[in-house]
Amino acid sequence: MARKILLVEPAYSNKYPPLGLMKISAYHKMLGDEVIFVKGTSAALRDEVWDRIYVTTLFSFYWDITIKTIKYYKRSVCKTKDFFIGGILASTLGVDIELEVGIKPFKGLLNSPGILDEDNDIIIDQITPDYDILDQIEYAYPSGNSYIAYMTRGCVNRCPFCAVPVIEPKFDDYISITNQISRIDTLFGKKSNLLLMDNNVLGSKKFSLIIDELKDLGFGKGSSYIPDNLFEIYCNRLRNNSEDNVARNKVYSILQTFPARLNRYVEAYRRYHEVMSQFSLQEVSHSDFVANVLAAYDDLSPIIEKYRNKAKRQRLVDFNQGIDARLVNESNMKKLAEINIKPLRIAYDHISLTDIYSKAVALAAKNGIYNLSNYILFNYDDKPEDFYYRLEHNIKLNTKYGTRIYSFPMKYIPVTDKNRRDYVGKHWCKKYIRAVQAIINVTKGSVAPGELFFYKAFGRDVEEFHKIMMMPEPYIVQRFASEEAGLTDMWWVEYSALNNDVKNTVDERIRQNNFNVDDNVRHLLGMEAMNVLRHYEKIE
What is the per-residue pLDDT across 330-345, written as a single tens digit (0 to 9) for each? 999 999 999 999 999 9
| pLDDT tens string 57-67 | 999 999 999 99
Give phi and psi for 57, each to the nearest 5: -130, 155
| Calpha distance 80→54 (Å, rounded) | 11
Helical axes 63-73 vs 94-101, angle rounded to 10°? 40
On whether the CB atoms of residues 201 and 210 are closer than 8 A, the answer is: yes
DSSP H/E element including 510: helix 500-511
**For the CA atoms of 371, 377, 383, 389, what is the dihedral angle to 10 degrees?**
0
What is the per-residue DSSP string for 462-480?
A: HHHHHHHHHS-HHHHHTHH
Report pLDDT for 286: 85
Q: With CA atoms as reference, report the closest residue to 88 among 69, 109, 71.
A: 109
Type of residue found at 8: V
Report pLDDT for 540: 36
| Calpha distance 159→165 (Å, rounded) | 8
Q: Which residues of the chain have pLDDT under 50?
A: 539-540
| pLDDT tens string 226-268 | 999 999 999 999 999 999 999 999 999 999 999 999 999 999 9
DSSP H/E element including 523: helix 519-525
Instruction: Return the bridge partners of 224, or none.
Output: 314
Report pLDDT for 72: 98
Report pLDDT for 521: 59
Residue ranges and CATH numbers for the domains of the chain are 1-139 (3.40.50.280), 230-307 (no CATH), 487-540 (no CATH)
| Calpha distance 455→234 (Å, rounded) | 52
Report pLDDT for 519: 57
| Cα angle for residues 81, 86, 91 (degrees, 5° grid) | 115
Report pLDDT for 165: 83
Q: With CA atoms as reference, report the closest residue to 450 among 382, 392, 504.
A: 392
Q: Report which DSSP code applies to 74.
A: G
Name the pTM for this structure.
Answer: 0.90
Give phi and psi for 458, each to the nearest 5: -110, -5
First to last CA, the chain: 68
Q: With CA atoms as reference, report the closest residue to 259 among 243, 275, 283.
A: 275
Output the average pLDDT for the chain. Answer: 94
Residue 459: Cβ within 10 Å count: 17
Report pLDDT for 67: 98
| Calpha distance 5→76 (Å, rounded) | 11
Report pLDDT for 539: 41
Report pLDDT for 498: 93
